[in-house]
Structure formats: structure tokens, C-alpha cells
Amino acid sequence: MACTFRRSIAAQLSRVLDLPPENLIKSISAIPVSRKEGVADFQLSLESLLENNNDHLRPDIHDQATRLAAKLKCDTVVSEISTGHGTVNFKVNRELLTKTVLKQVLEDDSQYGLKSELFCGLSQKKVVVEFSSPNVAKKFHVGHLRSTIIGNFIANLKEALGHQVTRINYLGDWGMQFGLLGTGFQLFGYEEKLQSNPLQHLFDVYVQANKEAADDKNVAASAQEYFQRLELGDAQALSLWQRFRDLSIEEYIRIYKRLGIHFDEYSGESFYREKSQEVLKSLNSKGLLQKTMKGTAVVDLSGEGDPSSVCTVMRSDGTSLYATRDLAAAIDRMDKYNFDTMIYVTDKGQRKHFQQVFQMLKIMGYDWAERCQHVPFGVVQGMKTRRGAVTFLEDVLNEIQFRMLQNMAAIKTTKELEDPQETAERVGLAALIIQDFRGLLLSDYQFSWDRVFQSRGDTGVFLQYTHARLHSLEETFGSGFLNDSNTACLKEPQSISILQHLLRFDEVLYRSSQDLQPRHIVTYLLTLSHLAAVAHKTLQIKGSPPEVAGVRLHLFKAVRSVLNSGMKLLGITPVSRM
């Protein structure tokens, strides 16, 4: 158990340093396999200790490390103590390492790493995650795709940590596009097409209506008038709008399901049409609303009349804007969910928008504005499918499936698959997710299908392949066993590396939970897969004595278990065959 080791090292250090063990836990980390110094498993970084307790230790950390190490003793857990660059290193008793890690992984299974003392004292929080949020009848672009997979990851992670998560899809379901759609549908809409393929049809109608409106003033005026009717709550106009919305959502639910994603709430800008008016009233009564010469109304964010820092919240005709509706939505969600944290996932282009919204909430006196967080991500360029630039989420999924099926056709086992389509989609999605999650979320990148599906190297295909291979190993030989006599059989450096790597899973989860970046988990899982590939080649099962085979199988099962939970956190459905 990673926590037993860390705790027991902390206990000894605590006696020597006269510091409470809790202050030491986070300074003790499992040593990454690639940067392994000798064969130690854990290290205490004096630098990180100094940050927290600088009055206890003086800055000459190398001497400090040596002096500290001299005061420490080996015990039943620690078998060797050494020093590195400002670190004290601990090697754990090998048999104990094998037994504890393997037992813990298989006992905790999907909870492995999450029960660690690193998460100790973490209380259950109410977390709202708003993500995906496409616009009805408009393009579903790569930004929406990124929001979808990143938001899902954050929601998964928060949920795994024991928080109560509400997933909200905040649709762009209001605005002038519905004026155009209403008018356009009367002119060139088809009921059957709306029923059979609503997203495509609404998009087509919207595009055509836009074109007509540009050429024909009457169409433009009629669209304007249609939207006015919607704003005024005209029942007939609203009922058509409602159908567009309902059919679109139905279709979205089906497509998100292919991604393995669900939402607890489909909300949208339309919900806040009336509540925005209340927000405007409240701003006004607080003396925060300023009318402009143009008849619009703004909020001064600087509080000092700085004209460069105002946010427009009302059009000259009295209707609300994007920002106003976000104010209303935030207030409404606070009423409804009483959240401890609310996370918005959009591209970095909306950074300023969210800063302004949070700032306005604060000026309005809502202290909980501090609980709102925007998670921005970078821009992806050049994603194209066979149908051209990305317009629909479904096109991306179909493209993934198509390309992956082609790749798989080259491998002979594909024929034996029960549902090659489904497998292709799952493997392909893993590939897409991994290449998107490998860097910092904020970085921009140029999209390339070749990079996504690279057959060699660090891809989602490789993770899925490793998972499937380990699964088939279990199917062929069973999942092994662990007892007092066979723990000693796991001695090879390949297996020790795996055990050491498994020790680190909690730290990796902890890092991702701190900065909400999936890349820590991605890198970890790729390394795990590489280690597993080496071990798979060298640690034979067939022909080995039963104890050796038993403990090796157990090790492989542990790897698969951690790989499985890590992939699921990232939003990947692991396959058992490919």
C-alpha cells in the first residue's frame, strides 16, 4: 500500500525532525522510474520541506540531507537509506513492496490511488461542471469537441475523488439564429428531414436563410420579426422553437452516448431570457447599471469610470446579451445546487468574458463568485473530415471509426471481433483523446489524423492495445495468485519497475486534481504501457513454475486494473480485444 510506505517513512522522519507526520507526507514522493537513482523507491525532497518549514532547516540542503540520513535507521519497511541531490532516498523491503502493492491494487481496484493519504482530509464538495455547450443550428466546431472531452475528464476526476458532480450542457439555444430558422423553415424546411436528421436539416436551413437574408431585405425583416415574437413569448413561434430544441437535444443525447458522455442537465441561454431581466433590475437597483448614449446599458467593472473596462449587459431594445444570461444562469445554479465550485470549460477566446461575468457577480455582492472557475483551452487548427471542415460532432466520430477500421483491416485478428465498428470507435476515440490530452490544455496545436493514429509510439491506440493484450493474457492463463511463498519470486528489474511505477499513481492523480490537467495521467499510462510491453516480452508465463507464473499474472492483472481506471478517468472505454 503506497500509503503505508509513505506513512511509515513519515513517522520515522517525524520523530527525527520533530515535525507532525502530516506536514511531511506531501514531501515524500515515489521516484519516477525513468529518473530512478539506483533502486530507491521513495524520496524526501528537502527543498519541498523547506518551503513549508523553513525555520526548522537551513538552506544548505545537501549537508542537511546527509545529516538527516545519518539520523535515520532501516526498519521493517525501509531496507536502505541513501542521499541524492538534496534528497533522502528510501528503498523499501522488496517482498513487502511486491505484496503490498499487488494486494492494494487488486483490493482497491477502480479506487486504487484515490484512497491515498494524499487525498486525506478532502471533504465531499458539490461541483458543477459546464461543458460542451454547442449552439443549436450552428456549427459544432473543434472547440466544442475539446470542451466536451475536457469537461468530461474534469467531471470524471471530481466524481472519482468523491465529489458530487452535476454535468451541465448549456446550449446556445437563443438569439437571432432562431429568427432566421423560424422564417427559413417556413420557406424551405421539410418536416421529414427535420424528423430524420434534425441537426443537419436545421443547419442547412440556417445557412440558406442567412444567404437569403443577405440578398433579400424582406427575408431579413421577417427573421427579425420572428425573433421579436420569440422574445415577446409568442406561443406559436415558441412552439416551433421548442421543437427545434427538443429534436436537437434528442439527437445530441444519441451522439454523446457514442462518446460515453451524459449530462445531468440540458440547460441553455433560452432559460435565462426572463431571469436576465431580473438581473438587469437588480443591477439597476444597486446603482450598477449605466445607460449609454446608444441606449444600451453597461456595468463599470473598474468602479472608477474607466471606459475600457465596462461590460454591456443590455441592448438598446432592452433585450439581454450573452453576458447577462450568464449572470442569470450562475445565480440560478447557485440557488439550485448551492455549489462549492462551478467550472466552465471553453476555449481561451472566452477568457475575458468569464472574467467579466465573475467580476460582475462579485460587484453585485455575491461572495460565491470566487467559487466560479473558467478552465480555458487552446485552439486546434486544421481538423477536417471527408465531408470537409468539422460541422457536426457525428462527422468526427464517423471519421474516427472509418479510419480506425481501415487501420484494423490490416491486422488479421480484426475479423474475429464481434463488433468491429464499436471496437474501431473506442480505439479511435482513445487515439483522439490521448493526442488532445498530451500537452497543456492551453496550448494551441495543428491537428493531424496521422499523428492521432500513429501506429508506433505514444498513442491511445497503444494504450488500448496494451489493455487488450493484458486482457487476453488473463483469459488464457487466469489472473494468477499471491501468497507468502511466491511474493519473493518477483525479483526481475522489469517487475520492480512496474511496482515502483504503480506506487506513483496516487501522486499523478493528485497532480491532475490540483491543476485539472489530464497530461499527468496520460504520461503515466503511456509509461505504464511501455513497462508492461517490456515485462510481457521478458517475464514468461508459459513454462514457468506455478508460483512464478502465479505472481507474474497477478502483476499483469494489477497493471491492467490501473490502466483501466486511468483510461476511464480520461473518458476512454477500454477494449478487451482489438
Quote the least distance from Cβ 95 to ligand ARG, whole Å: 53
Distance CA 134, CA 156 (A): 20
Apex 464 CA angle, 107 and 36, nearest 5: 65
Q: Which of 41, 117, 130, 547 binds ligand ARG (CB under 6 A)?
A: 130
Q: Which is nearer to ligand ARG, 202 or 482 (CB)?
A: 202
Quote the least distance from Cβ 173 to ligand ARG, whole Å: 9
Are the C-beta atoms of 128 and 168 separated by less than 8 Å?
yes
Which residue's entry shows cell 438581473? 279
**Residue list 444-483, contact with ligand ARG (CB under 6 A):** none
Quote the least distance from Cβ 140 to ligand ARG, whole Å: 9
If one asks whether residue 133 binds ligand ARG (CB under 6 A), the answer comes out as yes
Report how far Cα 80 is from the mean position of its chain's Cα atoms.
Answer: 39
Distance CA 525, CA 438 (A): 11
Any idea which residues carry the catalytic annotation? Answer: 138, 141, 144
Q: Per-residue string for binding with ligand ARG, 216-245, x by CB under 6 A? A: ------------------------------
Distance CA 282, CA 280 (A): 5
> What are the cell numbers at 19?
515535525
If one asks whether residue 271 binds ligand ARG (CB under 6 A), the answer comes out as no
Report how far Cα 475 is from the mean position of its chain's Cα atoms.
Answer: 31
Q: Indicate the angle between helix axes 519-538 and 505-515, nearest 10 degrees.
A: 160
Stretch that binds ligand ARG, among 128-136, 157-165, 256-264, 506-514 (CB under 6 A): 128-136
Q: Which is nearer to ligand ARG, 148 or 564 (CB)?
A: 148
If one asks whether residue 170 binds ligand ARG (CB under 6 A), the answer comes out as yes
If one asks whether residue 270 binds ligand ARG (CB under 6 A), the answer comes out as no
Q: Which of 117, 251, 326, 395 binds ligand ARG (CB under 6 A)?
A: 326
* Concatenated DSSP letters of 285-348: HTT-EEE-TTS-EEEESSSS--GGGEEEEE-TTS-B-HHHHHHHHHHHHHHHH--SEEEEEEEG
If one asks whether residue 135 binds ligand ARG (CB under 6 A), the answer comes out as yes
For ligand ARG (CB under 6 A), the number of binding residues is 8
Q: Among 523, 483, 480, 484, which Cα is nearest to 501's?
A: 523
Apex 443 CA angle, 437 and 446, nearest 5: 85
Main-chain phi, psi angles of 474, to 5 degrees: -65, -40
**Residue list 81-120, contact with ligand ARG (CB under 6 A):** none
Stretch that binds ligand ARG, among 129-137, 372-380, 433-441, 542-550 (CB under 6 A): 129-137
Q: Which of 32, 84, 162, 172 binds ligand ARG (CB under 6 A)?
A: 172
Which residue's entry shows cell 431570457? 273
Quote the least distance from Cβ 494 to ligand ARG, whole Å: 47
Distance CA 73, CA 68 (A): 10
Distance CA 575, CA 467 (A): 7
Q: Which is nearer to ligand ARG, 371 or 469 (CB)?
A: 371
Stretch that binds ligand ARG, among 127-135, 283-291, 429-437, 540-548 (CB under 6 A): 127-135
Q: Among 132, 84, 51, 160, which Cα is nearest to 344's?
A: 132
Quote the least distance from Cβ 239 to ligand ARG, whole Å: 23
Stretch that binds ligand ARG, among 130-138, 234-242, 243-251, 378-386 (CB under 6 A): 130-138
Q: If you ran DSSP here, which 8-state letter would residue 194 be given?
A: H
Quote the least distance from Cβ 327 to ligand ARG, whole Å: 10
Are the C-beta atoms of 275 and 241 separated by less than 8 Å?
no
If one asks whether residue 425 binds ligand ARG (CB under 6 A), the answer comes out as no
If one counts every other C-beta atom within 10 angstroms of the C-beta of residue 273, the result is 17
Q: Among 400, 434, 417, which Cα is nearest to 572's?
A: 434
Q: Which is nearer to ligand ARG, 143 or 460 (CB)?
A: 143
If one asks whether residue 344 binds ligand ARG (CB under 6 A), the answer comes out as yes
If one asks whether residue 173 binds ligand ARG (CB under 6 A), the answer comes out as no
Q: Per-residue string for binding with ligand ARG, 521-550, x by CB under 6 A? A: ------------------------------
Quote the least distance from Cβ 330 to ligand ARG, whole Å: 8
Distance CA 498, CA 527 (A): 9
Quote the least distance from Cβ 134 to ligand ARG, whole Å: 6
Are the C-beta atoms of 146 and 154 separated by less than 8 Å?
no
Q: Which is nearer to ligand ARG, 343 or 427 (CB)?
A: 343
Are the C-beta atoms of 151 and 131 separated by less than 8 Å?
yes
3-state secondary structure 527-541: HHHHHHHHHHHHCCC
Q: Which is nearer to ligand ARG, 320 or 561 (CB)?
A: 320
If one asks whether residue 517 binds ligand ARG (CB under 6 A), the answer comes out as no
Q: Which is nearer to ligand ARG, 31 or 145 (CB)?
A: 145
Distance CA 460, CA 404 (A): 12
Q: Which is nearer to ligand ARG, 241 or 344 (CB)?
A: 344
Q: Which is nearer to ligand ARG, 199 or 559 (CB)?
A: 199
Distance CA 447, CA 398 (A): 17
Q: Which is nearer to ligand ARG, 322 or 402 (CB)?
A: 322
If one asks whether residue 391 binds ligand ARG (CB under 6 A), the answer comes out as no
Quote the least distance from Cβ 172 to ligand ARG, whole Å: 4
Helix (H/G/I), strand (E/B), else coil: 374: strand
Q: Which of 83, 116, 183, 346 binds ligand ARG (CB under 6 A)?
A: 346
Burial code (b: 16+ CB inside 10 Å, e: under 16) for 100-128 equals bbbebbbebeeebbbbbbbbeeeeeeebb
Residues with Cβ within 8 Å of 501's Cβ and at least 6 positions away in sequence, in order, are 32, 33, 524, 527, 528, 531
Quote the least distance from Cβ 138 to ligand ARG, whole Å: 8
> What are the cell numbers at 568?
476511464
If one asks whether residue 394 binds ligand ARG (CB under 6 A), the answer comes out as no
Q: How many CA atoms lie within 13 A of 175 on its CB side?
A: 16
Q: Which is nearer to ligand ARG, 140 or 524 (CB)?
A: 140
If one asks whether residue 42 binds ligand ARG (CB under 6 A), the answer comes out as no
Quote the least distance from Cβ 518 to ligand ARG, whole Å: 20
Q: Which residues bind ligand ARG (CB under 6 A)?
A: 130, 133, 135, 170, 172, 326, 344, 346
